């Protein structure tokens, strides 16, 4: 008894009064079973969208500090209502804002990072037998202003609190029932995973699996917090995210498709030292993340340099590339937004002799041309034509995951 | 220059995006004219009602702490939007919650009293040239929980901040253009007052003038803060509330009618010491404010005791009275809710030889029976039959205020 569980409930899980009541009962069950619960809660349903809309009806460019003040009210509404619902069932609860939970962040409004957590207040409330209902997504800066954590903020709050409070586990309740081998909306045969390693989950999250934000996975890995992603609407096991040695070894855990990218090519870049550095440092200076880069030695000491960026960054990346191209005497800049990125992810890839060749062979058999390749210990990504992306995804998924193809290990 | 003005804008004044924009411009004009502004803002329009409704859809009896957490979001929305609107006009603004404004209250959630104000943060923001947009109605307890100040809370916040910051003046912007000699909805000839004393305003507020809450008037009187009540929709002078020696002396400043009362009578109370104390201490123990009390010696050492309470408290007051009546051997308890309270208010009443007799004579001429009377230095109140209340109000108003009747001063 008196083991602490941290649970996180997303916006859809508390999207209505009826759902808030259901979440209250779930929390009480956990309290009865384990002794202590901290529930981290997001803003109700689309309430954040409505607040953003109000701000934009005032001004196109609201200041980030004031946006954080405004947005933080969303979770304050859900935590107070949820606490009332718990109290209505005869249990003691206390809602705590980010500042009250002691979540101290840096000064980057709208995308703050947690610097420290002062757990005094939460511990006091838990010790006096109360269920703590903490606002996700928000904290307080050292200037004593309210900050918000940006995308995936509530997941991050939950994992950070679990780490700071040395919780037994952290459960992420959401509107899907776990992590899948691929996106079930795109791949008919996608299967729910019972278990996945932090590293694999991190890759999947970076590759666009929407369920968990990479920041929260990184944090869980760093502090070794057992995570579980579960449905808040059904009472069944979800997907546990654990250390790699606790996972049955497979070569490929998941297959992803990112259709949200574009490729930029700078043609005939003179082959002089420092040229690539110049381009990519200017892009980094504008906070444009570059994903894959290839450079082909084409002819006469000039190279073609290609790289991929997120769709959102295409316009800015293009204008920077065009400016730099002129400065470095490159011939021209082109772009291609009819591409997508197919990836296989699994901790077994590093030790597999033929994961890559199997992937390339499969793509060849499907008649798919590979435009770019990048690999890591646990991932192989290929840029391919967008038009056949979904079909290829299903084929590769079924071949690598359903058939669990025999792949030899490196000696 | 750099004189500080504190302005308070009520819920209707910031009830829409368009109104928020207008308030922003008003604040900027004041900043341009005086140098420093603290704007104290209520929750937008009916947003507080909507929050209360949400809470009651969860439970009939939400805890007061959680209600304060929930309700405090209302002002956080309006202060952040108003700050954005000011910034959109090219001025620097900063929104501050009650806790950020340093408003420290006691532990009485939903009806907290301000204990202290730590002005460091507000002063720092003002000194750096920013317009401060402070949340009305809310503060922080010494347990570091969010508290709310109850009815009239935003007025109280404004006056308290004006006192703590030693402001030049405090302007209360609202949906009426000032304080009237009587309720303009009931009295056709009611006139707006240019000026009124704190004491008179306090009596009017206690007698039900909705514009200012008595707490804020008391506070303004205590710290000698010049108050002005003005319309946020029209640009014209309102009513200034100042010390009595700055007001032109009249006997009667205003006439009020409180229709929201009931009279309870305990019949044949044995005439023994301590009996009245017993009844009224029990009522006080249940936080039921008693207004007027009369006791008639009727016959054979028994008295009839009558008192008035607010309509809201009638049920509770009756049940306590009935219980006590049995315990003290009184014959019976009756009540009358067809009564109302007519009052004349003016600092000249204390020195007037015939204000009271003029009032009673007028009521006699109108054929009105006076059931109870109470007087103070600046007020005479009569309980009369409710059916003729409004008609009598108009007559008395016109006689005492419009005709400005000659009333002799006491020697």
pLDDT value, residue B410: 47
Mean pLDDT, 10 residues at a time, chain A of 411 residues: 89 95 97 96 94 96 97 98 98 98 96 95 97 97 95 94 96 93 92 94 84 90 94 92 86 92 91 80 87 76 87 92 91 93 91 86 92 89 94 94 59 41
Mark yes or no for CB contact B72/A67 under 8 Å.
no
Per the structure, the complete domain to which residue A14 belongs is given by 3-247
* Same domain assignment for residues B48 and B152: yes
Listed residues B247, B263, B285: the one ending a domain: B247
For A76, which of B55, B73, B79 is closest by C-beta distance? B73
ipTM of the complex model: 0.85
We report the CATH number of the domain holding residue A50 as 3.40.1160.10
* Same domain assignment for residues A116 and A198: yes
Are A386 and A311 in contact, with CB atoms under 8 Å apart?
no
pLDDT value, residue A408: 46
pLDDT higher than threshold 50 for residue B123: yes
Percentage of chain B surpassing pLDDT 90? 72
Q: What angle do CA A242, A246, A252 make, to 5 degrees?
A: 85
| Rounded Cα gap, residues A81 and A104, in angstroms | 24
pTM to 2 decimal places: 0.86
* Same domain assignment for residues A216 and A82: yes
> What torsion do the CA atoms of B288, B290, B295, B301 make, to the nearest 10 degrees?
20
pLDDT higher than threshold 90 for residue B221: yes
Lookup: tokens for A108: 């980057």
* Same domain assignment for residues B280 and B302: yes
* Same domain assignment for residues B277 and B381: yes
pLDDT tens-digit series, residues B330-380:
889 999 999 999 999 998 888 887 888 889 999 999 999 999 988 888 999
* Same domain assignment for residues B221 and B268: no
Asked if A148 reaches chain B (Cβ–Cβ under 8 Å), the answer is no
How high does pLDDT run on average in chain B?
91
Lookup: tokens for B161: 């901040």
For B58, which of A51, A62, A84 is closest by C-beta distance? A84
For A287, the 3-state DSSP assignment is coil
* Same domain assignment for residues A238 and A165: yes
* Same domain assignment for residues B240 and B170: yes
* Same domain assignment for residues A191 and A268: no
* Same domain assignment for residues A89 and A43: yes
Q: What residues have CB less than 8 Å from B110, skipping those under 6 apart?
A: B64, B67, B68, B147, B148, B150
Listed residues A247, A277, A295: the one ending a domain: A247
Query: Which of B64, B70, B120, B143 is the best substitution to test chain A (most A C-beta atoms within 10 A)?
Result: B70
Chains A, B: CB contacts within 8 A come to 100
We report the CATH number of the domain holding residue B403 as 3.30.2130.10
Q: What angle do CA B322, B323, B325 make, to 5 degrees?
A: 60
| Selection from B67, B73, B86, B85 nearest residue B42 by Cα | B73
Asked if B120 reaches chain A (Cβ–Cβ under 8 Å), the answer is no
Q: What angle do CA A177, A178, A181 make, to 5 degrees?
A: 125
Mean pLDDT of B78-90: 98
Q: Which residues of chain B are within 8 Å of residue A59 when distances are taken between CB atoms?
A: 84-85, 87-88
pLDDT higher than threshold 60 for residue B406: no
pLDDT tens-digit series, residues B156-176:
999 999 999 999 999 999 988
pLDDT value, residue A404: 59
pLDDT tens-digit series, residues B44-62:
998 999 999 999 999 999 9
* Same domain assignment for residues B172 and B95: yes
pLDDT value, residue A124: 97
Which stretch of DSSP H or E encloses residue B255? strand B254-258
Mean pLDDT of B92-111: 96
* DSSP string for residues in A186-223: T-TT--B-SEEEHHHHHHHHHTT-SSS-HHHHHHHHHH
Q: Domain tally for chain A? A: 2
Distance from CA of A127 to the nearest CA of B (A): 16
pLDDT value, residue A411: 41
Listed residues A195, A229, A247: the one ending a domain: A247
| Rounded Cα gap, residues A274 and A277, in angstroms | 5
pLDDT value, residue B2: 67
Are A187 and A60 in contact, with CB atoms under 8 Å apart?
no
pLDDT value, residue B270: 85
Chain CA centroid to CA B56, Å: 26
Asked if A67 reaches chain B (Cβ–Cβ under 8 Å), the answer is yes
| Rounded Cα gap, residues A375 and A292, in angstroms | 10
Give B41's pLDDT tier (boundaries 50, 70, 90): very high
* Same domain assignment for residues A254 and A381: yes
Q: Which residue in this structure is represented by tokens 């341009």? A: B32
Residue of A nearest to B101 (CA): A144
Q: Which residues of chain B are within 8 Å of residue A97 when distances are taken between CB atoms?
A: 69, 146
pLDDT value, residue A13: 94
Mark yes or no for CB contact A80/B69 under 8 Å.
yes
| Rounded Cα gap, residues A55 and B81, in angstroms | 6
Residue of B nearest to A17 (CA): B58
Lookup: tokens for B105: 């209250």
Mark yes or no for CB contact B55/A17 under 8 Å.
no
- What sign has the CA pseudo-torsion A15, A21, A24, A30? negative
| Rounded Cα gap, residues A220 and A209, in angstroms | 17
Instruction: Determine phi and psi for A267, rounding to 5 degrees.
Output: -95, 140
pLDDT tens-digit series, residues B270-312:
877 777 788 888 888 888 888 888 877 666 778 888 999 999 8
Question: Cα(first)–Cα(last) distance of chain A, in Å?
Answer: 47
pLDDT value, residue A206: 84
| Rounded Cα gap, residues B336 and B147, in angstroms | 37
- What sign has the CA pseudo-torsion B367, B369, B375, B378? negative
| Rounded Cα gap, residues A333 and A330, in angstroms | 8
Chain CA centroid to CA B118, Å: 25
Q: Which residues of chain B are within 8 Å of residue A84 when distances are taken between CB atoms?
A: 55, 58-59, 62-63, 66
Q: Helix axis angle, A214-223 relative to A153-164, nearest 10°?
A: 10
């Amino acid at each position: 008894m008196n083991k602490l569980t941290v649970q996180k409930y997303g916006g859809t899980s508390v999207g209505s009064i009826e759902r808030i009541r259901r979440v209250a009962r779930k929390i009480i069950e956990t309290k009865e079973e384990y002794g202590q619960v901290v529930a981290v809660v997001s803003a109700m349903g689309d309430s954040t969208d409505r607040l953003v809309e109000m701000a934009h009806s005032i001004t196109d460019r609201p200041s980030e500090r004031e946006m954080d003040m405004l947005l933080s009210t969303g979770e304050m509404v859900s935590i107070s209502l949820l606490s009332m619902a718990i109290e209505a069932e005869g249990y003691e609860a206390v809602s705590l804002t980010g500042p009250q939970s002691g979540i101290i962040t840096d000064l980057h409004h709208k995308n703050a990072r947690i610097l420290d957590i002062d757990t005094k207040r939460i511990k006091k409330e838990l010790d006096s037998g109360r269920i703590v209902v903490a606002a996700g997504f928000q904290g307080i800066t050292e200037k004593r202003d309210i900050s918000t954590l940006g995308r995936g903020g509530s997941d991050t709050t939950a994992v950070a609190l679990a780490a700071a409070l040395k919780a037994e586990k952290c459960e992420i309740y959401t509107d899907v029932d776990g992590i899948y081998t691929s996106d079930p909306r795109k791949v008919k045969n996608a299967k729910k995973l019972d278990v996945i390693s932090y590293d694999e989950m991190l890759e999947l999250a970076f590759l666009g699996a929407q369920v968990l934000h990479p920041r929260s996975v990184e944090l869980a890995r760093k502090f070794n917090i057992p995570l579980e992603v579960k449905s808040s609407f059904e009472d069944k096991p979800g997907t546990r995210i654990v250390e790699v040695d606790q996972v049955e070894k497979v070569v490929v855990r998941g297959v992803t498709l990112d259709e949200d990218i574009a490729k930029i090519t700078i043609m005939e870049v003179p082959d002089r030292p420092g040229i690539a550095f110049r381009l990519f440092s200017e892009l980094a200076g504008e906070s444009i993340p570059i994903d894959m880069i290839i450079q082909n030695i084409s002819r006469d000491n000039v190279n073609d340099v290609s790289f991929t960026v997120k769709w959102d960054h295409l316009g800015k990346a293009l204008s920077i590339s065009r400016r730099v191209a002129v400065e470095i005497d490159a011939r021209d800049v082109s772009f291609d937004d009819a591409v997508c990125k197919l990836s296989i992810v699994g901790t077994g890839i590093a030790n597999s002799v033929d994961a890559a060749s199997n992937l390339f062979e499969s793509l060849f058999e499907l008649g798919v041309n590979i435009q770019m390749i990048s690999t890591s210990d646990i991932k192989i990504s290929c840029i391919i034509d967008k038009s056949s992306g979904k079909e290829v995804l299903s084929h590769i998924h079924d071949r690598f995951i359903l058939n669990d193809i025999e792949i030899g290990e490196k000696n």
